[in-house]
Amino acid sequence: MIDVALPHTRPTTSPHVAEFITRVLERLKPLTAEPEIHNHVHEENTQETDERTQAVKLLKTVLKWLMTSAGRTFTTPVQQQLQLLPLLFKIAPVEIDESYDEMKQDARTCLSLMSQGLLYPEHIPLVLAALEEMAGSRSWHARFSVLTYLQIMVFYNLFTLLSVPAEVLRIRKLVMQLLLDEQLEVRDMACTTLSGLLQCQFFPLDSSLQTQLQTLSQTSLPKARGELASTDLVRRHAGVLGLSACILSSPYDVPDWMPQILMDLSSHLNDPQPIEMTVKKTLSEFRRTHHDNWQEHRQCFTDDQLLVLTDLLVSPCYYA
């Protein structure tokens, strides 16, 4: 009864996952145009709302099926099951709040289980295509969930992904895209994701990445308020978050590049929010993780850098 192709066996005659999902997606069309899917019923009793109600009921059933099959998700037809990912991203909440119901819980569970699926190299482009599509979603909750999904997927398939350098660059581009997201929560999660990928050496902290982050962090902020100023603030904050991710990726040592990046971050301590808070959090975390071996770590800094760093970590503005 499981649609899995095994060696030296006859193919399954019925049921077929691909055919099943095709029929399901056809009946879920009323939900595909919604930026976020909520478990509620409209009061108006029209044909359109009736179709949506039926689609929500079907989706709840499909989520239960996915939870039972997610452990073998990527041994069954991948391309068809990936078509359900956009719907899951639209349902799963970022935080558990008063609207957290059974459908959201099931969607969150499905995403977690599917992200843990072991991928074959030929499956990677399909998964990344689905993530790239959702990274352009109108819902920032969906864009946020792309990053949490990506973190788990990379760590469960680290060596498989590293065997395909082109896809590693693709993931790097996706993370950098979301680091520039207009929503603060998405940018913060992109920073966390970038830090984790750098820490496990998924891709190197090379000169091109450092230059890209430093260029973003040096974006000038015009005094005039408006859309342009807001865009420039996002770009500058993205650069600072990227530099912060570099610092946080090495919690117990001081690589050659770290002293200069700390100096670069220090120049943003008086920037407008949320940049100032990002710098303070990063300096606080650096102090916490490097405190025990500070006598050894301080040898990596010049006298001038130590003077600046000491002033930053004990100055009144640091505790403000």
Q: Is residue 301 part of a domain?
A: yes
Which runs of consecutive H residues, i.e. helices, occur in the chain?
A: 17-27, 29-32, 47-69, 78-82, 85-91, 102-115, 124-135, 140-156, 158-162, 165-179, 184-199, 207-217, 227-248, 258-266, 275-290, 294-297, 303-314, 316-319
Would you put residue 92 in left (φ > 0), alpha (ψ -120 to 50) or beta?
Answer: beta
Q: What is the pLDDT of residues 4-37, one digit of tens each?
A: 666 677 766 766 777 777 788 888 877 776 666 7
Q: Is residue 166 part of a domain?
A: no
Band of pLDDT at residue 264, cut at 50, 70 and 90 = very high
Give the pLDDT of residue 149.
93
Give the pLDDT of residue 43.
47
d(CA 167, CA 121): 10
**Residue ranges making up the domain that contains 299:** 214-313
Residue that is written with structure tokens 């929503």 in the block: 183
Tokens of 227: 């859309």
Domains: count for the chain: 1
The stretch 125-149 carries a mean pLDDT of 90
CA-CA-CA-CA torsion sign (190, 195, 200, 201) = positive
* pLDDT over 90 at 193, yes or no: yes
Give the pLDDT of residue 230.
85
d(CA 275, CA 144): 20
Q: How does the average pLDDT of the chain come out, rounded?
A: 82
* pLDDT over 60 at 212, yes or no: yes
Q: Is residue 5 part of a domain?
A: no
Band of pLDDT at residue 317, cut at 50, 70 and 90 = very low
Give the pLDDT of residue 315.
52
Helix axes 165-179, 184-199, angle to 10 degrees: 150
Tokens of 275: 């940049």
Q: Is residue 104 part of a domain?
A: no
The stretch 91-117 carries a mean pLDDT of 73
Give the pLDDT of residue 155.
94
Q: Is residue 290 part of a domain?
A: yes
Q: Is residue 117 part of a domain?
A: no
- Provide the residue type at 36 as one letter: E
d(CA 130, CA 150): 11
Max CA-CA distance within the chain? Answer: 74
Coil, strand, or helix at residue 38?
coil
Cβ-in-10-Å burial (0-12, 13-18, 19+) of 188 comes to: buried
Give the pLDDT of residue 51.
80
* Pick from 223, 224, 297: nearest CA to 259: 297
CA-CA-CA-CA torsion sign (124, 126, 132, 137) = negative
* Pick from 76, 56, 55, 94: nearest CA to 2: 76
* pLDDT over 70 at 78, yes or no: no
The stretch 234-246 carries a mean pLDDT of 96
Q: What is the pLDDT of residues 31-75, one digit of tens each?
A: 776 666 766 544 455 555 678 788 888 888 888 877 776 655 444
Q: Is residue 257 part of a domain?
A: yes
Q: Is residue 36 part of a domain?
A: no
d(CA 130, CA 145): 12
Give the pLDDT of residue 73.
45
* pLDDT over 50 at 320, yes or no: no
